[in-house]
Structure 1
Amino acid sequence: MSVRVYVPVTSSGLAAVVADGRLAGPFRAHAVTPALAEAWPEGEDEEWEYAAQAAAGVASLAARGEGDRPRRLVLAVDVPDAQPAGTDDEPTLVEVAADVPWKRIASAHVDVADLPDAVVAAYLDQDADADLPDEVDGVEIDHDLAWFATQEIRAYADGL
């Protein structure tokens, strides 16, 4: 049995995964955990998955280095094992010890355009219990990430 985890990556990190054909372990990711289910008992599987994916998206923005694009970039990956590593503030956080081959990557969830600085700041500054506003500094925010199948990830990464 495998566990679906959502791995936050940067644009340079995505390029490395594509070039290497694998995701190098160990790494941190986000997943549906017992801590998440306990913190949100009225939630359902689909809502918990969305919460884990959203947490990974914000983590990808926070991990950006110089030269990385201001986009949320998340890989959905099936791993044999993931150990909870979160706190009350991060109930979705898990640790994955091993490398993950390309064939275990299920999809990518990404912003298709760069986010303005004010929007990036809004994502990074938001209270975990609060919804992101629909507009920040006059910029409409599309909360959902675009979905790319595995065979489309390389072409998307090449466009970064």
Structure 2
Amino acid sequence: MTMAYVAVDRQRARALRDDGRIEGPIAAHAVTPGLLRAHDLGAGDEDAEYTALAYAGVTALLTGSDPLRLVLAAELAAPPGGEDGFGRVELDGLGWTQVTALFADESGSADRVARARTLATGRDFDQVVDDVRIEALLDDSDLLWFAPTELDRLPEPAG
């Protein structure tokens, strides 16, 4: 089994849970051959999973409108291929039963995420991921692990 990390907003995550499935194409990040080569990592390396999750966190910044980012970790039956150094893949669909974890910003991260989102406005993924100002803001905003059953109890922005 392989993990894919899917950036979603809370509304789409709830729709996935309530409907049981969403159809693709769905943008995701995963440990692909290209990601492993680009970062000089091995297939079983824990840093490879963290790297794919971090890239999904950047995608969540670009695609979400919620004050806090949300990334779903979903188990795939077959490992995705791909030569993209960022582990970008497209899923044909996603079932809620595939979701094994949620990753969300802690409540105190809302201001940093908002500043990062402002800096990212009008830019594509490649530009955003290379911006050291955005990287610094996101590095100070860890994506915390939650069980899928905690979707309705994820942190809300502080304040």
- TM-score bracket, normalised by the shorter chain, equals 0.7 to 0.9
Asked whether the equivalents of residues 9 and 70 of structure 2 are also in contact (C-alpha less than 8 Å), the reply is: yes
- Cα shift at 1:131: 8.2
Structure 2 residue aligned with 1:79:
76
Structure 2 residue aligned with 1:24:
23
Counterpart among 118, 127, 132 of residue 130 in structure 2? 127
Counterpart among 141, 147, 150 of residue 148 in structure 2? 150
Structure 2 residue aligned with 1:45:
45
- Cα shift at 1:122: 5.1
Asked whether the equivalents of residues 2 and 79 of structure 2 are also in contact (C-alpha less than 8 Å), the reply is: yes
Partners of 1:86 and 1:62 lie apart in 2 by 22
Instruction: Tell me whether 1:107 sits opposite 2:104 in the alignment.
Output: no
How many residue pairs were aligned?
Answer: 147
Percent identity, aligned pairs only, is: 31
Structure 2: stretches of 5+ with no match in the other structure:
none
Structure 1: stretches of 5+ with no match in the other structure:
none
Whose helix proportion is higher, 1 or 2?
A: 2
Instruction: Tell me whether 1:95 sits opposite 2:98 in the alignment.
Output: no
> TM-score, normalized by length of structure 1?
0.74
- Cα shift at 1:3: 1.8
Partners of 2:52 and 2:133 lie apart in 1 by 15
- Cα shift at 1:75: 0.2
- Cα shift at 1:87: 3.6
Cα deviation per residue 1:52-101 (whole Å; 9 max; x = unaligned)?
0011111011012xxx312221000002235445645xx3101111x332
- Cα shift at 1:37: 1.1
